[in-house]
Amino acid sequence: MVRWIRETEFPEYACRIITNSNNEIEIITRNFFGKVAELENEENEIKRKIKKKIREEINNPNIEFDLGYDESIEEQITEYKQDLKQALQFTKYEEFAEMDNSHLIGEELEKWQEISREKENNTESAVSYDLGRPDLAILWRKQLYFISSFDYINNYKLTVQIRARKCPLSLYY
């Protein structure tokens, strides 16, 4: 089930009902909406791809053969790997762009720069709901549900699992 949650893409305001029993529903959705949220997700995905490429290069057993193995080159290889390990700590575009070995991640940097431009030009703001508010409710199949509890499953994409209890009809009137 955890794998399904991580790989699920939620279009805007969409959710997945997990269980529906005893006047309670359990939902998995995200809690970050709008164009800005989409751009943030794309940016985080690019960072993940960049770090994956860097890890692959660090663990590349063919570096010695690509450079032509020699004892004098061994020190250069260890320094190269140290630089790449330091790059794994980077979080900003500028840090990756100024890195000595930025040629490894050229495509990703171009995409990241396009997304940054789009974020700057976007005037829309992102929306995130305070799920702890007592007046926040879910309307599902023409029935009102009040949120009883929630847990963030994945803080990276703000994926949230919500449990809600059906509102008794007497509260409507």
* CB 14 within 8 Å of CB 29: yes
Answer with the residue of higher pLDDT: 111 or 72: 111
Of the ranges 85-94, 134-143, 144-153, which one carries the lowest mean pLDDT score?
A: 134-143
CB 13 within 8 A of CB 127: no
Phi, then psi, of 90 in degrees rounded to 5:
-70, 150
Q: What is the pLDDT of residue 2?
A: 41
Average pLDDT over residues 162-169: 77
pTM over 0.85: no
The region of weakest confidence among 104-108, 112-116, 123-127, 138-142 is 123-127
Q: Which domains does the chain have, with CATH numbers?
A: 2-32+128-171 (3.30.70), 36-121 (no CATH)
Q: What percent of the chain has pLDDT over 90?
A: 12
Q: If 0-12 CB within 10 Å is exposed, 13-18 middle and 19+ buried, where does residue 62 land?
A: exposed
Question: What DSSP designation does 160 have?
Answer: E
